[in-house]
Structure 1
C-alpha cells in the first residue's frame, strides 16, 4: 500500500460546512442561483443539485451496498470520464425539475444521515479506494477526508460564482490542503533511496510536507535534510491546482521552485480529484 502519512480527522467539520452552505444558498436570489460556476456548463443551481447526487450515491453505495451507485474504471482518467458523464446525466435530468428551495431541503435532510455514516466509519479500517492516491484499498480516514474536500471545493465554487467568499479559515483550508498532499507519493517519479522533496504552503499559514524516496515509492517524513526539489505555493493555488481550477502554467507562475526540474514539475502536477490530467507534455 502507498504510504499516506498520518491520519487526518475531519469529522467535526462536516456539520458546520453544510450549515454554512445552506445559509449561503438560502440567501441567494433567482439571478444568483443561475450564475455560472467554475464547473464548466453548471450554474449554482446545477452544482447544488450535484451535491445532492453526491450524498445519495455515498449513502446508497457505501452505507447500503447498492451496486448501482458505483462506477467501474481501470484508470483515473477513465474514471474521470465515466464520472463526468454520470454527473452530467444526473444534473441534466434533475436540475430542471428541482426548485432551489427543494434542493436546499434535500441537502439539509441528507446532511444528518451522510454525516452519521461518515463519522461512524472505523478510520483505520480498509475502505473505498481513493483513486488519486494510488493503488488501494485505502483506510477510511482518507476516504472521509476526500469526501470533505469534495464538499468544501464545491462550496468554494458556489461562493466564487456569487462573489461571497468565506469558509476559508485555516480550520477548514488546512485539512483540505493536507488531504491533497496525499496524492504526492503516487505522483512522483522514482528516484534513488534517500532523495527528498518538499512541498511548502507559504500563505495564509505556513506548513511543509517532506517525502523521501524509499524502495519503489515515496514516504512522508517529519524532517527534511537536503531536499532535491522544493515547491512553495499559497494554499489557494495549491488546492485550486489539485482540482484543476488552476493550470500548470498558472501554478508555475505563482510558485517558488528550486532543484530537480522533473520533481518540481511532478509536484506542480498534483492531482487530488477525479479530473482529467493536464500535465505539460
Structure 2
C-alpha cells in the first residue's frame, strides 16, 4: 500500500501559499497542460475537491450524459466534463478561486483521514488497467492528480516547492503501478526484469518483473535486468502525465541493455488521456 493520506494537508497548504504569492500576470501564464493557463489548472483542482466532497461526503452524484462503453468513451466524457468546468470558472476571480480552494482543501484533507483504505473504491484506476481498485490506490491516484497539477502551476511560474523526495516518491510510486498494464502486450520469459531509476536527491529504483502471465512492479530483484531505464524526476513527471512525448523525453532518458524492451516504459500515461 502506498500511504498518501498524511500528505494531503501539507500539499494543500503549499498550494494555497503558492496561489497567494502569484501576480495578476502569473494567473494567465500557459502551463504544460497545453490549453490550460495557471488559473485553469487551479480551477480544475477546485473541481476535484468539490466533486469528491459532494460524492463521498454527501452522497451526491450526477450520471454521465452519454453512454460510456469503452476507455475512449470515458476519456472523451472527462475531457468535455473538465472543459465545461474550466469555461464556467473564467468568470471567477483568482482571489475567490483561492479562497474556495483553501476552504474545500481542508475539508477534502479531513475527509481523506477517515476513509477505509482496504475497501473497494468508488472509481477504479483505469490507467493501471484495473476494473476494481482498493480505496488506498484510488486515494493515491488522487494524490498524484493534486501533486502534478500543482507542479504544472509551479513549473509555469518558476516557483519550486514540492519537488522533494517526501512529496514526489508517493507520486511516482503510484504512477509506476501503471507499468504492468503498459507492458501487457510485451512478452518475455518469466523472471525477466527491467530496472527503472529515477533521480531526485539520489536514485530511486524499481524493477518491472515478468511473472507467469503478467508483469509486476517491485523494489527487489536479485537477477540481472535485461534492460535499464534512467531519467530525472522532472522528466518523469512530465512524461508520465503526457506533458512530454517519448520523443521529446528521449533527450534526457538513458536506455541501456535491451533498449526496445526498455522503451515501452516511456509510453506509460498515468492520467486519463
TM-score (norm 2): 0.91
In the alignment, structure 1 residue 212 sits paired with structure 2 residue 206: no
Relative to structure 1, the CA distance from residue 75 to residue 228 in structure 2 (aligned partners, 3 Å threshold; closer, same or farther) is: farther
**Shift in alpha-carbon separation, 1:261–1:246, aligned structure 2, 3 A:** same
1:36 counterpart (27, 30, 45): 30
Residues 228 and 38 (structure 1), Cα distance of their counterparts in 2 relative to 1, 3 Å cut: same
Deviation at 1:20, TM superposition (A): 1.1
Label 1:88 to 1:33 Cα distance change in 2 as closer, same or farther (>3 A): same
Q: Unaligned stretches of 5+ in structure 1?
A: 1-6, 276-281
Q: CA deviation at 1:74?
A: 4.1
- Of 203-212 and 227-236, more deviation after overlay is shown by 203-212
**Distance in 1 of aligned mates of 2:201 and 2:58:** 40
Tell me if 1:196 matches 2:193.
yes
What CA deviation, in whole Å up to 9, does each residue of 1:222-254 have, x standing for no partner? 224121221111121111110011110122221
Q: Is the 8 A contact 1:61 1:68 kept in 2?
A: no
Whether the 8 Å CA contact 1:204–1:234 is kept in 2: the answer is no
Q: 2:164·2:200 contact (CA, 8 Å) conserved in 1?
A: no
Among 1, 8, 21, the residue aligned to 1:27: 21
CA deviations 1:1-43 (Å, max 9, x no partner) are xxxxxx1111121111111111111122222122222222222
Corresponding residue of 1:142? 137
In the superposition, relative to structure 1, how do residues 224 and 239 fare at CA in structure 2: closer, same or farther (>3 Å)? farther
The answer (yes or no) to whether the contact 1:52–1:107 under 8 Å persists in 2 is: yes
Instruction: Give distance in 2, aligned partners of 1:75 and 1:226.
Output: 38
Using the alignment, how far apart are the partners of 2:21 and 2:171 within structure 1?
26
Deviation by residue 1:55-103 (Cα, 9 ceiling, x = unmatched): 112222333343316686444443222211111111112222x111111
Contact kept in structure 2, 1:35 and 1:44, CA below 8 Å: yes
1:110 alignment partner, one of 104, 107, 110 = 104
Deviant stretches of 4+, over 4 Å: 69-72
Indicate conservation of the 8 Å contact 1:55/1:110, yes or no. Answer: yes
After superposition, the Cα gap between the structure-2 partners of 1:202 and 1:192, relative to the gap in structure 1 and judged at 3 Å, is same
Contact 2:16-2:102 within 8 A present in 1 as well? yes
Deviation track 1:144-174 (CA, whole Å, cap 9, x = no partner) reads 1111111111111111222212211111111
**Contact residue 165 and residue 200 of structure 2 kept, 8 A:** no
Contact persistence 2:29–2:37 (CA under 8 A): yes
Query: 1:260 corresponds to which residue?
Result: 258
Taking only aligned residues, the RMSD between alpha carbons, in angstroms, comes to 1.9
Q: Point out the more displaced range, 253-262 or 16-25.
A: 253-262
